[in-house]
């Protein structure tokens, strides 16, 4: 049974965790919310580092915790990646990896070799931690977590301690893990940029409770959730590279019978990619515009409209996939926008996430 069932209740002074959720047994589940929402506490409960009274945890059919059983942390087949890699300074990279393997009965040389290849650290094996960049240290930390052949990988804001340059360095490796790992990953973050690049499933936490969970695209399109009210509100579109226009250095992405043009990509035609479209970059017209510099115009129908402050509204549209637009209340009223109307969505900017 490829699912994770978790029920945890903790009651501490000033904070309570109360979560009862079923998570997918494959792919990346992002635990998202503001600081203090309970993301790390939930992760620590899964790891067995916090013991919730009456808690329950089953991972793909295996009971790790219930009213009769308690599997201690050292016996849980999991990998844990912290904000800081915390490598042993007196050991080189290979020594750090081997030390982690000694503490796991399931660890195998094959697992370590695969982790080294996935994270691209074969050229770093003889180096000591003080000769590694921040991004390299974190890649080693992730490889160490994978070398124990875990049945679940827990990642607690692994990019939080890195500057922008190092984050951009390590994100492609995390994307590779997403493509190639066959185990569930819990990824804690408060950075939406990371979530939209990596996650398949999104759990929103607020004051110790899971207020909503579901597929990433579905969750980002829900106007009743906090993610729709942020400045970077938007959706992700799953598409395929259909054509490279070398004359104009552009690439066409196709999805659901529609297309988006973006700056030329390096990947070959036929590659599946994920694009992010922010609500603030989408305008609405009642008819197909003429004489416009905007290259991406999609036929759409309005699904829902909700107020976003005193002067703005969010408009959810169906354009083959979900699409959000944030416009002024005046524009809504001048255009007479209502659910069910056919419109043209003008997409001013598209960001490739992966």
Pair type for strands 296-308 and 342-347? antiparallel
* Average pLDDT of every residue of the chain: 92
Longest dimension (CA), the chain: 70
Pairing of strands 28-32, 185-189: parallel
Which among 85, 135, 136, 143 is positioned nearest to 118, based on CA atoms? 143
pLDDT in tens, 318-332: 999 999 999 999 999
Radius of gyration of the chain (CA): 23
Q: Which of 181, 198, 228 is the last residue in one of the domains?
A: 228
The reported pLDDT for the residue numbered 199 is 95
Question: Are 94 and 154 part of one and the same domain?
Answer: yes
Co-location of 261 and 202 in the same domain: no
Q: Are 109 and 161 in contact (CB under 8 A)?
A: no
Please state, in angstroms and rounded to a whole number, the distance separating the CA atoms of residues 10 and 52: 6
Confidence at residue 103, expressed as pLDDT on a 0 to 100 scale? 62
Contact 226, 206 (CB under 8 A): yes
pLDDT at residue 99, as a whole number: 84
Task: Classify each residue of 175-191 as buried b or exposed e, where b means 16 or more C-beta atoms within 10 Å of its C-beta.
Answer: bebbeebebbbbbbbbe
Same domain, 251 and 216: no
pLDDT in tens, 192-245: 989 999 999 999 999 999 999 999 999 999 999 999 999 899 999 999 999 999
Q: For residue 35, count CB atoms less than 10 angstroms from its CB and return exposed for 0-12, middle for 13-18, buried for 19 or more.
A: exposed
| Boundary (domain end) residue, out of 188, 207, 228 | 228
Q: Are residues 204 and 244 in the same domain?
A: no
Total domains present in the chain: 2
Q: Is 292 within 8 Å of 347 (Cβ atoms)? A: no
Query: Does the structure show a pLDDT above 60 at 106?
Result: no
Element holding 101 (H helix, E strand): helix 93-102
Q: Which domain holds residue 87?
A: 3-228
Give the whole-angstrom CA distance, residue 257 versus residue 56: 45
Residue 107 pLDDT exceeds 60: no
CB 201 within 8 A of CB 27: yes
Q: How far is residue 84's CA from residue 104's CA, in Å, rounded to a whole number?
A: 21
- The model's pTM is 0.90
Q: Which of 205, 228, 251 is the last residue of a domain?
A: 228
Give per-residue pLDDT as tens, 147-177: 888 999 999 999 988 888 889 889 989 988 8
Can you give the CATH number for the domain in which 243 is found?
2.40.50.100
| β-bridge mates for residue 243, sequence order | 252
> Do residues 23 and 167 both lie within one domain?
yes
């Amino acid at each position: 049974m490829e699912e994770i069932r978790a029920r945890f209740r903790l009651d501490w002074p000033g904070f309570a965790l109360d979560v009862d959720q079923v998570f997918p047994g494959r792919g990346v589940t992002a635990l998202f919310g503001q600081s203090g929402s309970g993301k790390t506490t939930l992760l620590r409960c899964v790891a067995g580092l916090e013991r919730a009274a009456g808690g329950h945890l089953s991972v793909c059919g295996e009971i790790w915790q219930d009213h009769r059983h308690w599997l201690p942390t050292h016996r849980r087949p999991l990998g844990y990646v912290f904000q800081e890699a915390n490598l042993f300074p007196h050991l080189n990279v290979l020594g750090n990896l081997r030390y982690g393997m000694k503490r796991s009965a399931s660890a195998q040389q094959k697992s370590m070799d695969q982790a080294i290849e996935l994270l691209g650290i074969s050229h770093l094996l003889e180096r000591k931690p003080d000769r590694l960049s921040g991004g390299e240290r974190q890649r080693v930390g992730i490889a160490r977590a994978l070398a124990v052949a875990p049945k679940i990988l827990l990642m607690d804001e692994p990019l939080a301690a890195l500057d922008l340059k190092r984050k951009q360095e390590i994100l492609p490796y995390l994307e590779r893990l997403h493509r190639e790992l066959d185990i569930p990953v819990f990824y804690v973050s408060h950075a939406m940029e990371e979530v939209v690049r990596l996650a398949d499933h999104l759990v929103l936490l607020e004051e110790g409770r899971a207020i909503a969970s579901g597929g990433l695209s579905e969750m980002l399109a829900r106007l009743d959730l906090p993610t729709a009210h942020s400045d970077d509100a938007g959706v992700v579109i799953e598409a395929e590279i259909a054509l490279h226009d070398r004359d104009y250095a552009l690439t066409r992405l196709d999805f659901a019978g529609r297309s988006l043009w973006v700056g030329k990509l390096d990947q070959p035609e036929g590659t599946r990619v994920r694009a992010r479209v922010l609500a603030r970059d989408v305008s609405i017209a009642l008819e197909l515009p003429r004489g416009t510099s905007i290259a991406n115009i999609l036929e759409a129908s309005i699904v829902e409209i909700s107020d976003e402050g005193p002067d703005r509204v969010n408009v959810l549209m169906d354009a083959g996939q979900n699409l959000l637009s944030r416009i002024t209340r005046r524009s809504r009223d001048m255009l007479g926008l209502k659910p069910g109307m056919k419109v043209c969505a003008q997409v001013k900017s598209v960001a490739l996430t992966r």
